[in-house]
């Protein structure tokens, strides 16, 4: 890797399951680096061995030791090429890698992130849902109240949300989504790129029912909320809102724009109604 002196700290995505998903650039970095920073050193060692690369020094970097390990890693990166990997996929998403990036920036150390495997984006595309906008939520909170609040907030956005979940909790999470939005569309991707990959779609309850009795493997969930039902407002309520805004010296155009955005109907119809009420007021 010819520019290793310029980019000493390189985040290297690793295969989710299929070893052939490793990129040529990733192999270059892993071959030339002097230190591999890994979420689990045993997993990293197996990958390096599978790629037939020379033995490397491997240092563990995880949530439990991130505070004490960050300093020594950055010191090493000042003079050597350091590769950062996670157990599978892109480092820095569901591990403390983002904290390492922030610390490197503060220390004046360059960071490079290679493109590569990512389960969240793969699931989003496979879902077939509209994803011009989406939100990535990671793993849901563990406590019941915080989890319910997180699911409700994501559903209220009206766009697809992407989640990681453990096989031990996936049924419970699907049932919670079903209770909050029974008609939401759900896509579940299990063991992405692996031999027993599974794709399921339907409502949350339908997906839960289609899961094997004993769920195993890595799971990514994409949830698309059901369309919001239009709110019905009575003519009397609309007139009251129009009068209040006119009394606040708002123009007819401004009244129409405001109330249309609040779901009171089409802008042109509100404009005509507001104009008529303004004339009746003698303004």
- Block means of pLDDT (10 residues each) for the chain, length 283 residues? 60 95 96 94 94 91 90 94 94 87 94 95 97 95 94 94 97 97 97 96 97 95 86 84 91 90 86 92 73
Q: Distance between CA 48 and CA 54 in Å, rounded?
A: 8
Domain 119-224 has CATH 3.30.930.10: no
Q: Distance between CA 23 and CA 90 in Å, rounded?
A: 12
Parse the chain into domains and list their residue ranges: 9-113, 119-224, 235-280
Name the β-bridge partners of 83. 10, 36
pLDDT value of residue 197: 96
pTM, to two decimals: 0.75
Reported CATH class of domain 9-113: alpha beta
pLDDT value of residue 2: 42
> CB-based burial of residue 53 (10 Å sphere; 0-12 exposed, 13-18 middle, 19+ buried)?
middle
Q: Distance between CA 156 and CA 151 in Å, rounded?
A: 9
Q: Distance between CA 208 and CA 9 in Å, rounded?
A: 41
pLDDT value of residue 231: 65
The conformational region for residue 138 under phi > 0 = left, psi -120 to 50 = alpha, else beta, is left
User: Which two three-digit tokens encode residue 23?
Assistant: 């990129």
């Amino acid at each position: 890797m010819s520019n290793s002196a310029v980019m000493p700290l390189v985040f290297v995505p690793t295969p989710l399951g299929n070893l052939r998903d490793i990129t040529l650039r990733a192999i270059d970095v892993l071959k030339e680096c002097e230190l591999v920073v890994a979420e689990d050193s045993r997993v990293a060692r197996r990958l390096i061995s599978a790629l037939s690369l020379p033995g490397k020094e491997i240092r563990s970097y995880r949530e439990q030791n991130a505070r004490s390990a960050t300093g020594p890693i950055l010191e090493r990166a000042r003079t050597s090429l350091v590769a950062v990997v996670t157990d599978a996929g892109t480092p820095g998403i569901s591990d403390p890698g983002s904290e390492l990036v922030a610390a490197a920036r503060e220390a004046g150390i360059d960071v490079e992130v290679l493109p590569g495997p990512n389960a969240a984006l793969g699931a989003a595309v496979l879902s077939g849902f509209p994803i011009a906008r989406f939100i990535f939520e990671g793993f849901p909170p563990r406590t019941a109240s915080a989890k319910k609040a997180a699911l409700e907030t994501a559903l209220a956005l009206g766009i697809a949300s992407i989640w990681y979940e453990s096989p031990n909790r996936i049924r419970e999470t699907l049932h919670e989504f079903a209770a909050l939005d029974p008609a939401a569309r759900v896509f579940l991707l299990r063991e992405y790129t692996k031999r027993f990959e599974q794709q399921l779609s339907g409502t949350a309850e339908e997906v839960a029912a289609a899961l094997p009795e004993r769920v195993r493997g890595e799971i990514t969930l994409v949830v698309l909320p059901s369309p919001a039902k239009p709110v019905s407002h009575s003519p009397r309520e609309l007139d009251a809102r129009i009068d209040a805004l006119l009394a606040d010296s708002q123009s007819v155009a401004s009244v129409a724009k405001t109330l249309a955005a609040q779901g009171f109907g089409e802008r042109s119809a509100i404009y005509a109604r507001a104009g008529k009420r303004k004339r009746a007021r003698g303004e």
